[in-house]
Structure 1
């Protein structure tokens, strides 16, 4: 925003404005700055354009431009995480945080997943039992054949 009404001597501007040499006019301070020639950062807990917003966090977490920034190295899935919290409604903040978590990783066990695991265990058990029965049948048939052979051979 360019402001013409407060220029003094052509290059000095009112507090909250800075002289733009290209436009040759005063323009408002960038977000996070205020005062004469926009030299001062917004004091805690203020931040943003004209320092009109208020941080709801500690002074270490409050950025004079963006507001509250809470940083952690990893989220629950091991991915780098950065959560910014400002004066927004809880629904918007929740939505923003949920959109940053990869959806490929389920956050809780689902009945569908448990059903699949149980099905795999049952199929594996049935397969083991069938292999055991086939092996026993084979051994029993071989045993019968050996018995028949012994019966047909005359004893000396």
Structure 2
């Protein structure tokens, strides 16, 4: 019983500290907190979501190529993608260029018979696709940790009740 009890207590304490360390939300910073979490930026004493077109710690990273919008969750299907607004609406004839490479070599004379053919194809931009990550998925780690901590706490409580009953019956 004592080894199991010590193990369960250790796991519970570790889980409680990890849950406290992961508690991040938009809003006023609490006492002692210096930085905002990933995806938030500190403005005065308040943590706010990154502006459209930026992501990361302190919103310091612009969206990667072909992605734009809040949390960089929207995809562009055009030749130029603005990190905040996406495809340029003024350029109605925007096209996306694809290049295909075909390389063939001859065994007898590799240098002379090598050829590279590049074809450029164009495709009209299609509708933009939005990828939204539900809030439930963002908090999945926290939910799992809290659930495990609760289960371990209940198991510890049941073990303690069993031990108390065992000693009181003796």
| TM-score class, shorter | 0.3 to 0.5
Q: Relative to total residues, which structure has the larger strand share, 1 or 2?
A: 2
Q: Could you state the TM-score of these two structures normalised by the residue count of structure 2? A: 0.36
Using CA pairs under 8 Å that are at least 6 residues apart, name the structure with larger relative contact order, 1 or 2: 2
Larger Rg: 1
